[in-house]
Amino acid sequence: MDNHSRSRLFRLSLLTLTLIMRVAYAAAQDPDKPLALLRQTGANYKIRVQTNAPFTAGARVSAVLSNKSNLITWVENVADCAGEALNQFCKELDNGRVVINYRLPAKPQASDKFKVTFAISDQSGRGSFRSIDLITDFKPGGPRIDNVCGNGLIVEFQTDNNSLTEAETNYYRTRLLELNKWLKDNESEPSRMAIVHVEPLSEPSPGDPIVRDFSVDPAADPQQSSHALDVEAALDSQRVLICLKLNETLPNGKFNAQVVLQKNPPFEFDRPLSKALVGRKATAVPIASKVADENKLGLRAFDNNLEVGMLFTSSVKDVKANNRTTRQRQSRGALDLRFAPLLRDRTNPPQAKTWQLFRTPLFLDAKVSTGKVSEESLSLNRVLIGTEFNFRYVEGTKKGERNKYVITVRGTNASDRDFKVAEAKGEFEFRPIFEMFNQPLRIQHKSSRSVLIPDGPPVEVASGFFGYQIQPFIGVEAGRVYRRRRATFRNEEQSRTVRRLLLGADLAFNLTPRLNITMTDIFFVRGETPAHRSRNYFIGTVEAPLGNINRNAAQSVFFSFERGDQPPFVSPSVNAIKFGYRVRSDFFSTGSAR
């Protein structure tokens, strides 16, 4: 190696060393997220300020303690700690970082609002400066509600420290033991552990509830008693949930809730916990037009456990009897019922690459009316009772591997209102949903950071102008009419055995956000009628949203063409063209029912 090369290597090494030192110095200078923590040791309370700043020789530490707008103490040059003197700042080093301590004479009051301001300066007067609020290691949270707590309010006790030192671990454990002791003290008389105030925002106040019981998570022994805390598990997760079970039902709408823990709780809970909450949502008001619109002969969609529609009509009609025409009033009632006590119930938690079972053990779909079952009846007078099992397989959640496969197995007993004609059949349907064929426009968007408000919600913009969904399906139906005690109508002439194969596809295309085309085509091969084996059903709709009329209403024009027929093929084939204008509005909604 010649001199020139040696010199270059030396300069390069020197430059690298300088860079490393500068980076280390810069990192050490940055007092990242300093904390002013209120801590309790026995009966003493002290403030520990973790400056997270290194201490260099000759540096000076200044500190100010204030409570609201009142100055409590101001020390220009904080001395090193030697014992713990009351009402005095002192400093010490923890892993080379400056820690400032201050011992309070008494427990802070709930109304206090302490603030610590500190400066660490070198001989030239430069350095770091921060002003921070006094907080506790564990933060109280809530109250809030969820399904596991049921009719109760959850109060939290949590922190998030991912790099616990041994001293912090010990302190956290002490706090959790203190909380556990308080829980144990209240085990026999939970009604005195907290005062709960509930203030509904849209209903008269029913009076404040009383805590009738409580549970804690993580519990030491959830099988036996949920009153005792698993301190080590809580130390791991740094989170404790206390569910206060109440004797009164919480309001459904919006309400304010306040919890004041009693009987000397851990000092972190000294302040009342208040929050605006929203109770369980009320079920949406049924859409009146939905019942009249529903003219499907197959099993209708179930969106709720129970849907009941009732209709009463009364009309005057000319009736001929004994060669005399008289006017008679005819009154009729109709009932539309959909009932499934357990609707698409999951048996297993959601997982990819496993078959997921959803079961509807019993469904009842009935459209019946009073009067004689005839072709002029007000209703289909049809009752479907059955059971449905739905198996779903999701290949994965990774982009490009999101194919799904859906198998539906259904057993149905279909009969007329009086159970004079009844058939039992089993149905099987397989529907693959391939990710590459299911890219509707609504999922084609990109997200990026806002330029004007970088900390605000990101900007979402459409990334495409053409969306599509293609879902093929195949199914079979097999069954038998096992009872026929009534004369058939004109269109019911068919064999007693039902054997059908069906093939079809649902297609939807979004040609820009302004034009949607949807199509469904089903081809049936019917085993029960050798003379006319194949049937087809097609419905296509073109819809052009015209935009919003105002904030609460939107409009569109549509064109649809429907041709063919569907099981049980007892009504004449449809061949209809519709062209229309549709307005959707929610200006009557008050907001409470949604």
Partner 1 sequence: MPTRTEMKTALKDRIQLDDPGNFNSNVNNWDQVRLGIYYDEDKELIDIAVYETTANIVATSGKFLPGPVWRNLLTQVGPGNTPEQVVDPMMDAAVRSVRRQENDEGPISDRPPKKPTLRSARKPTNG
- Of residues 420-459, which lie at the interface with partner 1 (CB under 8 A)? 442-443, 445-449, 454-455, 457-458
Stretches 155-163, 410-418, 424-432, 533-541: which one binds partner 1 (CB under 8 A)?
155-163
Stretches 23-31, 41-49, 92-100, 386-394: which one binds partner 1 (CB under 8 A)?
386-394
358 and 393 Cβ atoms separated by less than 8 Å: no
Residue 437 phi/psi, 5-degree rounding, is: -100, 5
Name the residue nearer to partner 1 (CB basis): 98 or 155.
Answer: 155
CB of 446 to partner 1, least distance (A): 7
187 is a contact residue toward partner 1 (CB under 8 A)? no
Contact flags string 121-150 toward partner 1, x per CB under 8 A: -------------------------xxx--
180 and 231 Cβ atoms separated by less than 8 Å: yes
How many residues make up the chain in this entry? Answer: 594
Helices (H) and strands (E) in the chain, counts: 4, 33
Q: How far apart are CA 190 and CA 453, in angstroms?
A: 47
Residue 192 phi/psi, 5-degree rounding, is: -100, 0
224 is a contact residue toward partner 1 (CB under 8 A)? no
218 is a contact residue toward partner 1 (CB under 8 A)? yes
222 is a contact residue toward partner 1 (CB under 8 A)? yes
CB of 317 to partner 1, least distance (A): 51
CB of 36 to partner 1, least distance (A): 21
Question: What is the number of other CB atoms lying within 10 angstroms of the CB of residue 528?
Answer: 20
240 is a contact residue toward partner 1 (CB under 8 A)? yes
Name the residue nearer to partner 1 (CB basis): 5 or 347.
Answer: 347
Name the residue nearer to partner 1 (CB basis): 73 or 165.
Answer: 165
318 is a contact residue toward partner 1 (CB under 8 A)? no
Q: How far apart are CA 529 and CA 494, in angstroms?
A: 7
283 is a contact residue toward partner 1 (CB under 8 A)? no
CB of 266 to partner 1, least distance (A): 18
Stretches 91-99, 365-373, 400-408, 557-565: which one binds partner 1 (CB under 8 A)?
400-408
Per DSSP, the residues of 69-136 read TEEEEEESSPPBPSS--BT-EEEEEETTEEEEEEEESSPPPTT--EEEEEEEE-TTS-EEEEEEEEEE
558 and 543 Cβ atoms separated by less than 8 Å: yes
The full 3-state SS of 377-430, as one line of letters, equals CCCCCEEEEEEEEEEEEECCCCCCCCCEEEEEEEEEEEEECCCCEEEEEEEEEE
Structure tokens at 565: 């027929």
Name the residue nearer to partner 1 (CB basis): 169 or 191.
Answer: 169
Q: How far apart are CA 251 and CA 280, in angstroms?
A: 8
Burial 208-234 (b: 16+ CB within 10 A, else e): ebebeebbbbbbbeeeeebbbbbbeeb
CB of 492 to partner 1, least distance (A): 34
323 is a contact residue toward partner 1 (CB under 8 A)? no
Token pair 């823990």 is found at 261
Contact flags string 338-377 toward partner 1, x per CB under 8 A: --------xxxxxxx-xxxx--------------------
CB of 555 to partner 1, least distance (A): 24
276 Cβ contact list (under 8 Å, min separation 6): 201, 254, 255, 256
Q: Which of 7, 87, 161, 331 binds partner 1 (CB under 8 A)?
A: 161
Name the residue nearer to partner 1 (CB basis): 32 or 160.
Answer: 160
Name the residue nearer to partner 1 (CB basis): 229 or 261.
Answer: 229
137 and 169 Cβ atoms separated by less than 8 Å: no
Q: How far apart are CA 272 and CA 533, in angstroms?
A: 74
176 is a contact residue toward partner 1 (CB under 8 A)? no
Name the residue nearer to partner 1 (CB basis): 185 or 395.
Answer: 395
CA 12 to chain centre: 57
CB of 387 to partner 1, least distance (A): 13
402 is a contact residue toward partner 1 (CB under 8 A)? yes
Token pair 């912090």 is found at 168
259 and 196 Cβ atoms separated by less than 8 Å: yes
303 is a contact residue toward partner 1 (CB under 8 A)? no
CB of 469 to partner 1, least distance (A): 11
CB of 218 to partner 1, least distance (A): 5
Q: How many residues bind partner 1 (CB under 8 A)?
A: 51
Q: Which of 320, 372, 399, 551 binds partner 1 (CB under 8 A)?
A: 399
590 is a contact residue toward partner 1 (CB under 8 A)? no
339 and 304 Cβ atoms separated by less than 8 Å: no
Name the residue nearer to partner 1 (CB basis): 107 or 275.
Answer: 275
CB of 144 to partner 1, least distance (A): 9
Stretches 399-407, 422-430, 480-488, 580-588: which one binds partner 1 (CB under 8 A)?
399-407
CB burial of residue 156 (10 Å; 0-12, 13-18, 19+): middle
Q: Which residues bind partner 1 (CB under 8 A)?
A: 146-148, 158, 160-162, 217-218, 222, 233-234, 236-241, 346-352, 354-357, 389, 391-392, 394, 397-399, 402, 404, 407, 442-443, 445-449, 454-455, 457-458, 460
